[in-house]
Structure 1
Amino acid sequence: MSSLSTPDGRAAARRVRWPGRAGHGFVAAYATLLVAFGVVPTAYAIYFAFTDAGANFAGLRNFVTAASDFRFAAAVGHVALYLLFWLAALVVFVVALALLLHRLAARGLSRALRLLYYLPGALAGAASVLVWLFMLDPAVSPVSFLLRAFGFGTFGEVIAIDHLPVLFTLIAFWTGAGGWIVVMYGALNTISPEVLEAARIDGAGGWSTAWRIQIPLLRKWIVYMVILAFAGGAQLFVEPQLLSQASVGVAGRDYSLNQLSYDFAFQNNNVGTAAAVSVELLVVGLVVAGVFVTRSRFFDAD
């Protein structure tokens, strides 16, 4: 009897004809969602960005309308300042805390700290903002003594327009940094123990080992984190939108570019200009990602 006539033989033949079919199945599910909720909406936005209300080709008219709006330059400045604070805090503190977590692993504290870092990420963006609104109000905050020590007596003083980039950075770090700390900790565990042992034998201390060995080997992970954090930070929306409603317009409905796009679409009924702002954010994100990938040699083999 031929081996192909048995069930095991037929299964082996199917595997030969379609190797890796399980992996392809998982990728197909992801690709379907990517097309449905990523590619199609993007194409839809590009279509609206280059057409007018009558579905006629408008060239760059929608982009000019967005750029000439008196709120556009201010929104760009707000987002740029927030990104500066957010990315700097993310790179410095996430890497530092991941290194600390790695050093504490031998003392049995690593698992508890990983859980502690990750817990704030369980809150959705809107819920985390509401928690922070409660924490930042000196009238009800459990840390009101700290707020008053910094000279803040009212909620309005805390959320003054000049303080918003720092406040949004704190909120974003509290909710999003924990996951990246765990990722960096996992990346540190892939570094060969022999390399670290050789550094210790050569007399390198903890600081020298981190600066000269561990951080350079984390380069690709740091670049990956910065790219995704930039893309998410450039789309700042939930925090200023909820703060605007809670503070009766202190932050404004047009603090960020995403808010401005939302305002164009649903307040001014100008979907084309709203789509133009979205496309601009997409292009900036792709350009920044391309610069980071090429300058960091992200895809080069180590």
Structure 2
Amino acid sequence: MAPPAVGPDEGRRRDVARARTPRRGQAAMGYVFSSGYTVLLILFGVLPTLYAIFLAFTDSGAFVGFDNFVKVFQDYRFWPAVQHVAIYVVIWLTLQTVFVVLLALVVHSLGQRWLSASTRFVYYIPGALAGASSVMLWLFLLDPSVSPVSFVLRAFGFETFVQTVSIENLPVIFTVIAFWTGAGGWIVIMYGALNNISPEVIEAARVDGANAVQTAWRIQLPLMRKWISYMGIMTLAAGTQLFVEPRVLSQASKGVVPADYSLNQLAYLYAFRQNDFSGSAAISLLLLVVALGLAAFFVFRGGLFERE
């Protein structure tokens, strides 16, 4: 017996069904791989945030409105800590954006493949050190009596470790430490973004007479906008959480660097020195709101979620 004839509409429906089956399998696998991150995000991100919101608006379980925020604002240590973090973030964000993009462009322009790979590897080495280990290394570098670059410190007039880590120098010192630790990874990321630019586009610019600077300014940088915005968001998130560096320097300098230098340090003092978890939660919530606002600015200005 001959098989029943299949009409054109029935054939199209079968083709659509076959096409949807692999897509459903891929979607299911995607949900499986992302479920681990989702669970961790809820446990260690969403739930602690909700608990911090509860603490920020209560005192001993009783609702107190904005009293905890008013108390924090009136603390004589709060606004100096805000100023310290703001100056540091502005310096770090500006210098990191400029130098990371510039170094990525330089590495990408290297003609020898082995030289480019070696340079990226060297840039990435400092990122292998944990934050505390990195700061411990910098304790020696910042001490003119033992530092291998003591001649540089003395050229700026620093003869002792206390002079080096004075309050007015800390934003620059923290910027140097953060750049040395994290810039290498971002250079690698920006290098990958440059590799995603079509070679035909670069070649067309060169045919039109554009030099290296014009190509970078008019072609490469606009096409790297999303990646630069992403780096800005992550830099802001890390910068507002300044804690390890000033805390280690505070202990090493025997109080020259204040224990309440940054907002995170102040929140730590509220929670574990003053036993005021509501005040600590209020500071943390303020940091979260500011970080989310600045992140939203970078997302919309940088077109982070726009489709090409």
TM range (shorter): over 0.9
1:219 paired with 2:232, answer no
2:33 corresponds in structure 1 to 26
1:279 pairs with one of 278, 281, 285: 285
Q: Deviations over 1:101-143 (max 9, x none)?
A: 1001545311111111111011110010010011110111111
1:112 paired with 2:118, answer yes
Determine the C-alpha separation between the residues in 1 that align with 2:130 and 2:258. Answer: 22
1:41 paired with 2:48, answer yes
Q: Highest CA radius of gyration, 1 or 2?
A: 2
AA partner of residue 228 (structure 2): I
2:180 corresponds in structure 1 to 174
1:36: Cα distance to partner?
1.2
1:301: Cα distance to partner?
2.2
SS in 1 for 2:300: helix
Determine the C-alpha separation between the residues in 2 that align with 1:82 and 1:28. Answer: 36
Q: Does the C-alpha gap of structure 1 residues 292 and 16 become closer, same or farther in structure 2, counting only changes over 3 Å?
A: closer
2:242 corresponds in structure 1 to 236
Q: After TM superposition, what 4+ stretches of structure 1 lie above 3 angstroms from structure 2?
A: 12-19
Determine the C-alpha separation between the residues in 2 that align with 1:19 and 1:298. Answer: 25
1:50 pairs with one of 48, 52, 57: 57
1:155 corresponds in structure 2 to 161
Q: Deviations over 1:234-262 (max 9, x none)?
A: 11000001100000111101000000000
2:251 corresponds in structure 1 to 245
SS in 2 for 1:171: helix
The within-5 A match list for 1:123-162 is 123-162=129-168
1:6 corresponds in structure 2 to none
Q: Does the C-alpha gap of structure 1 residues 199 and 51 become closer, same or farther in structure 2, counting only changes over 3 Å?
A: same
SS in 1 for 2:63: coil
SS in 2 for 1:151: coil
Length-normalised TM-score, structure 1? 0.93
Determine the C-alpha separation between the residues in 2 that align with 1:120 and 1:131. Answer: 11
Q: Deviations over 1:148-186 (max 9, x none)?
A: 122111101111110000000000001111111000000
CA RMSD of aligned residues (A): 1.6
For these two proteins, the number of residue pairs brought into alignment is 290
1:263: Cα distance to partner?
0.5
Determine the C-alpha separation between the residues in 2 that align with 1:297 and 1:139. Answer: 49
1:291: Cα distance to partner?
1.6
Sequence identity of aligned pairs in percent? Answer: 58
Q: Deviations over 1:31-83 (max 9, x none)?
A: 0111111111111111111110x201111011111111001010000000000
SS in 1 for 2:110: helix
AA partner of residue 139 (structure 1): S
Q: Does the C-alpha gap of structure 1 residues 201 and 13 become closer, same or farther in structure 2, counting only changes over 3 Å?
A: closer
Determine the C-alpha separation between the residues in 2 that align with 1:298 and 1:18. Answer: 28
AA partner of residue 71 (structure 1): R
Q: Deviations over 1:208-233 (max 9, x none)?
A: 10011001110010011101110110
1:4 corresponds in structure 2 to none
Flag structure 2 segments of 5+ consecutive residues without an equivalent. Answer: 1-18
Length-normalised TM-score, structure 2? 0.91
SS in 2 for 1:301: coil
Q: Does the C-alpha gap of structure 1 residues 253 and 289 become closer, same or farther in structure 2, counting only changes over 3 Å?
A: same
Determine the C-alpha separation between the residues in 2 that align with 1:298 and 1:29. Answer: 24
Flag structure 1 segments of 5+ consecutive residues without an equivalent. Answer: 1-11
Determine the C-alpha separation between the residues in 2 that align with 1:158 and 1:17. Answer: 60
1:21: Cα distance to partner?
2.2
